[in-house]
A and B are shown apart, each in its own frame.
Chain A
Amino acid sequence: MLDFHRLAGQFQDFSAYRRDEDRRHADRLAGALDALTACSTGWESLRDAVLAEAAERGRRHTPLRAIPHDAPDGCHACGPRPTPVTVVATDGSQIYPERHVEPTCYLLNVSRVAFHYGTEEPCVIEAVPQLRYRARDLEDLAGEGDDARFDVTVEVVSALRDELELVTLYETAAAERRSGRPVVALADGTLIRWMLRGMKNRALEERLVARYVEALECFRADGLPVASYVSLPANAEVVHLLRFWRGEDDQAPPEDTLRGLLDRHLFERALDEGERSAVFASGSRILDEYGAHHIVYFYVRAGREVGRVEMPQWVAEQPGWVDLLHAVVLDEVEKGGGYPMILSEAHERAVVRAREKDVFYRILERQMRSAGLPTTVASGKAASKRTPRI
């Protein structure tokens, strides 16, 4: 039972704390907005200084800083979205390997959606499941020597799913593009595979990044603009750029440090409804392996939310493509009530619900039993967890 009497004082403390935090946040925000405007005069030298710092990296730890491609305080209004335009998207989900099931198997369910806006052409909305279990599927991922063997962990399956999402996105864009009509391929989440760093298997990481970059190369070879949308981005790269400009010491941050502020807090104020920010390059270390596909991004304010749109550098360099992405993403977010409509649909198709997961295991078990194989699926713990006994 909750004793609200005793809790009353704590509620008051919490609101007082919240008030202080809000004040600090407002101060940081004001400081950041001032810095954003001020640093834009002569921003090229700021860029060079950040690049120089990045080149020296390794000597001391520095936070990731945005590398501006143009004046950092730029606010760009949105032009009209072309009509007709084809937008394609994919999303994926998975059933991770279960320890009790031998041999290791897992499921990837990747959806594809294609909308031909401004036409009455039929849309594509579907998801294709893949049950994977063959050892040779993973053969070309294995390295040599100590790194040769690896377990099919949650991280590996997630990485393979991300890869399949991008490959499917490319295939869908290539199949659904119509001559003389602009096309945009939109992925969900970030294009920066920083999470691969957590695998602690260098050879595996390099192979996975290389395959991801190969898929990006397919888009470039076919001239297909590819981008991704990050909702509620938690990045602070632009804020760290401003901290660098202010000369903040990372080891001993000053009293009025901007640390704790996120890029989206800054752009919620700096951008007007519908506007996008300047284009910045990410300083993420893993991008050193991306070659010509270094990821750049802009922030866009749609409604009250600020989202982040990422793309390979060559997309941003193509005249008109940043404006095309801006217009398409804004239209998507407006139609989707705060989140790109096409990504919501892709998610709906891709998601594997708990009940479906149960059915998946039941069918797997039935198949094995009818083939006269011992059913390890139902062995002890896993089975009892899935069907509580009464």
Chain B
Amino acid sequence: MDAPPVAEVIESSTRHVVAEVLKDQEAPPFGTWVEIETQEGVVLYALVSHAETGSVEPGRQAVALGRSRDEIRREMPHVFELIRTTFRAVVLGYWDGRSRTPEGAPRVHQTLPPRPAALHDFVRPCGPEAVARLGAPYDFLRSLATFPDPAVPADDLLAAVLRGLRRAHGDGDPGQRAVLDAGRALARLLHDDHERLQSILRRV
């Protein structure tokens, strides 16, 4: 929980959150994990499934200005203040803040949390250890494959998750092993639809 927050929750349900990226921060990449610590000490884990950039005010639409970025900064300095990036993240797991494995690591439940995050809770990107903990038995993949976000191509999101998994476990053998494990779980979920599985793995 030491990483600085990158965003703040502005819409929340037990299934997903929408967060606004804070000033001078970058949106977490598509398909990466974020964590939200709630006031009660519960930590929610969510996967970034969609990001967009637009006007802060719903009534104000962006229009083409015909000026370079540098010119806009110098001559229309408020424009960049009126733009915001928001992202949606699918909530797929949580830690109750107390229960731990015999080794002392947080015991993460790969299921929906009892309560949604509160509005204005901060959102941080997950570090590699947290991502690695979101591993076997990969129950979250079932939630993701069975109830995909209708606005997001599910397979691209799955491929991005597997890429993240490999990064978190380290490149080389451990990473490759984690991807294989997750791939096997995915194969069962996809009812051995090899075409689809191959197409996902090619994108990893």
Contacts of A115 in B (CB 8 A): 77-78
Other CB < 8 Å A-B pairs besides A117-B74, A335-B75, 15 of them?
Answer: A113-B78, A115-B78, A116-B77, A117-B77, A118-B75, A119-B74, A120-B73, A120-B74, A123-B77, A123-B78, A123-B81, A125-B78, A125-B81, A341-B76, A345-B78
Contacts of A335 in B (CB 8 A): 75-76
Q: How far is the CB of A106 from chain B (nearest CB, A)?
A: 26
The chain A residue with its CB closest to the CB of B65 is: A335
The chain A residue with its CB closest to the CB of B81 is: A125
Q: Could you tell me the distance between the alpha carbons of A118 and B73 in the complex, rounded to whole angstroms?
A: 8
Interface size on A, residues (CB 8 A): 14
Q: Could you tell me the distance between the alpha carbons of A318 and B77 in the complex, rounded to whole angstroms?
A: 29
Can you sample 13 A-B contacts with CB below 8 Å?
Answer: A113-B78, A115-B78, A117-B74, A117-B75, A117-B77, A118-B74, A119-B74, A120-B77, A122-B77, A123-B77, A123-B81, A125-B78, A341-B76
Question: Which residues 92-134 in A have Cβ within 8 Å of B in the complex?
Answer: 113, 115-120, 122-123, 125
Question: Which residues 16-32 in B have Cβ within 8 Å of A in the complex?
Answer: none
What residues make up the interface of B, taking CB atoms closer than 8 Å to A?
Answer: 57, 60, 73-78, 81
Contacts of A341 in B (CB 8 A): 76
Q: Could you tell me the distance between the alpha carbons of A122 and B78 in the complex, rounded to whole angstroms?
A: 9
Contacts of B75 in A (CB 8 A): 117-118, 335
Q: Could you tell me the distance between the alpha carbons of A388 and B68 in the complex, rounded to whole angstroms?
A: 49
Q: How far is the CB of B24 from chain A (nearest CB, A)?
A: 12
Q: Could you tell me the distance between the alpha carbons of A29 and B21 in the complex, rounded to whole angstroms?
A: 56
The chain B residue with its CB closest to the CB of A123 is: B77
Contacts of B81 in A (CB 8 A): 123, 125
The chain A residue with its CB closest to the CB of B57 is: A348
Q: Could you tell me the distance between the alpha carbons of A120 and B81 in the complex, rounded to whole angstroms?
A: 13
Contacts of B78 in A (CB 8 A): 113, 115, 123, 125, 345
The chain A residue with its CB closest to the CB of B74 is: A118
Q: Could you tell me the distance between the alpha carbons of A117 and B81 in the complex, rounded to whole angstroms?
A: 15
